[in-house]
């Protein structure tokens, strides 16, 4: 002991600087672990990019978060059938903003939830939403149908694609009690929306970005978002709704979209905003093609993996500070494709990235199973707030599409990863 004391005295005052730095660092790490962003902590102490991590998310957490998100979406469906676009849960105020594509996407979200767990309440909500959009529908002499969303002079073609997706996934839900006459009408509406999606293909082989809400005539510059939405609508209609005649068109559009929105876009900018916008929609579509059983479609599985490597390693989705739930609509199917291929390295890596991301994203759900001090500070009976998902850690605005995208990602997570 005397020798140790002598050794300690030899270093004089600098030793206290070292002790202070160590104490501050250790205390800061504990505080950050307790109150900060667990994703950054886990990136520091784990090796997710090498497929080594502790698993925080469980099926019970996923199920609870999914149930709360569903509750939130239903609570914010208006009597007319569309949704409150944005709700500030701290101020208890509503935004005047709106977006027709995100409104249609929210309805598609209900159809996806209904497909996973049918209920009379969900079915009623979907029917109410369909009635709203049909009340604002326009159909031209060629049988092409579009949506004249209130207040929108140039709606995005993604609105039409998402309406088609809503019908595809609603009609394929097992256990949904749709009367025969109404089902036939829904089938007819689906056909009319698909005609518009096909008619909106531009000379490049992708899609015009907008349309005239009076005539459904497509026009405008292509958007990587609507390119992906329209592609997914064609692929799922061909695969699940018996519209197999759409497969050749979908395959051509898939190749064109990959060339223009991925290969050429990344050649111009390695962290391309175009590729980011196209990512989750195209990855879902490519995954559906790769698992379709059609000949010569395994290459689309290669696209899924390459794009997902880019999303993780170049776009660095794990360190983004805004909600990236949309990205996991692509990354979770990529995990499943890597698993099917026997790619153990990617399966482990993707699994860790997904687990870290879902811990963060679920913690941004108000009143959720992993809520932070901020998102847990909600009254137990505040049905307008509970279940909504924030776009940032401490941002109280709850936008309907943010909750919808994250809810869809959780459906994939439950079905592909957290199965027990």
**Tens-digit pLDDT profile for residues 27-40:** 444 434 443 577 88
Q: Is residue 163 part of a domain?
A: yes
pLDDT along the chain (420 residues), means of 10: 59 55 49 57 93 96 98 98 98 97 98 92 97 97 98 96 98 85 96 98 97 98 98 98 98 98 98 98 98 96 98 96 97 98 98 98 98 96 97 97 98 97
Tally of structural domains, the chain: 1
Q: Is residue 416 part of a domain?
A: no
Q: Which residues of 23-37 are buried (b: 16+ CB within 10 A; e: fewer)?
A: eeeeeeeeeeeeeeb
Question: What pLDDT is stored for residue 175 in this prediction?
Answer: 73
Q: Is residue 365 part of a domain?
A: no
Question: What pLDDT is stored for residue 174 in this prediction?
Answer: 77
Q: Is residue 109 part of a domain?
A: yes
Question: What pLDDT is stored for residue 117 in this prediction?
Answer: 86
Q: Is residue 188 part of a domain?
A: yes
Q: Is residue 116 part of a domain?
A: yes
Model confidence, pTM? 0.91
Question: What pLDDT is stored for residue 15 in this prediction?
Answer: 54
Question: What pLDDT is stored for residue 33 in this prediction?
Answer: 43
Q: Is residue 399 part of a domain?
A: no
Question: How far apart, in whole angstroms, are the C-alpha atoms of residue 51 and residue 399?
Answer: 33
Segment (H or E) for 325: helix 325-341
Q: Is residue 360 part of a domain?
A: no
* Residue 91 and residue 400 in contact, taking contact as beta carbons nearer than 8 Å: no
Question: What residues make up the domain containing 125?
Answer: 96-222
Question: What pLDDT is stored for residue 22 in this prediction?
Answer: 57
Q: Which residues of 83-117 are buried (b: 16+ CB within 10 A; e: fewer)?
A: bbbbbebeeeeeeeebbbbbbbbbbbbbbbbbbbe
Q: Which residues of 236-252 are buried (b: 16+ CB within 10 A; e: fewer)?
A: bbbbebebeebbebbbe
């Amino acid at each position: 002991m005397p020798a140790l004391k002598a050794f300690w005295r030899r270093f004089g005052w600098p030793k206290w600087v070292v002790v202070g730095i160590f104490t501050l660092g250790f205390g800061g790490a504990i505080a950050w672990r307790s109150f900060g962003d667990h994703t950054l902590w886990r990136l520091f102490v784990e090796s997710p990019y090498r497929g080594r991590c502790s698993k925080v998310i469980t099926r019970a957490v996923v199920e609870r978060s999914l149930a709360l998100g569903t509750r939130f979406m239903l609570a914010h469906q208006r009597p007319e059938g569309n949704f409150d676009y944005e709700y500030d849960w701290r101020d208890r105020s509503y935004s005047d903003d709106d977006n027709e594509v995100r409104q249609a996407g929210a309805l598609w979200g209900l159809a996806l939830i209904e497909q996973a767990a049918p209920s009379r309440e969900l079915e009623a909500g979907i029917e109410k939403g369909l009635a709203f959009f049909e009340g604002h529908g326009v159909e031209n002499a060629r049988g092409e149908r579009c949506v004249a969303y209130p207040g929108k002079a140039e709606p995005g073609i993604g609105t039409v694609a998402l309406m088609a997706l809503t019908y595809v996934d609603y009609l394929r839900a097992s256990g949904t009690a749709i009367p025969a006459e109404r089902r036939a009408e829904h089938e007819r509406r689906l056909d009319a929306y698909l005609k518009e999606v096909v008619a909106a293909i531009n000379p490049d082989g992708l899609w015009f970005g907008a349309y005239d809400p009076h005539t459904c005539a497509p026009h405008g510059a292509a958007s990587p978002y609507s390119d992906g939405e329209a592609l997914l609508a064609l692929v799922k209609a061909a695969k699940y709704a018996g519209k197999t005649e759409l497969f050749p068109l979908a395959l051509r559009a898939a190749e064109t979209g990959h060339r223009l929105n991925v290969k050429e876009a990344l050649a111009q900018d390695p962290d391309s905003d175009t590729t980011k916008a196209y990512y989750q929609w195209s990855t879902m579509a490519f995954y559906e093609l790769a698992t379709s059983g059609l000949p010569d479609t395994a290459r689309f599985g290669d696209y899924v993996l390459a794009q997902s490597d880019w999303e993780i390693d170049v776009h660095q989705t794990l360190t983004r500070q805004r909600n990236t739930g949309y990205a996991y609509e692509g990354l979770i199917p990529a995990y499943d494709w890597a698993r099917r291929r026997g790619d153990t390295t990617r399966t482990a890596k993707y699994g860790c990235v997904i687990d870290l991301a879902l811990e963060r994203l679920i913690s941004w759900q108000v009143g959720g199973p992993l809520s932070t001090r901020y998102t847990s500070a909600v009254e137990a009976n505040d049905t307008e707030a509970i279940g909504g998902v924030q776009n940032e850690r401490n941002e109280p605005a709850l936008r309907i599409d943010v909750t919808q995208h994250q809810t869809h990602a959780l459906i994939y997570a439950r079905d592909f990863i957290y199965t027990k």
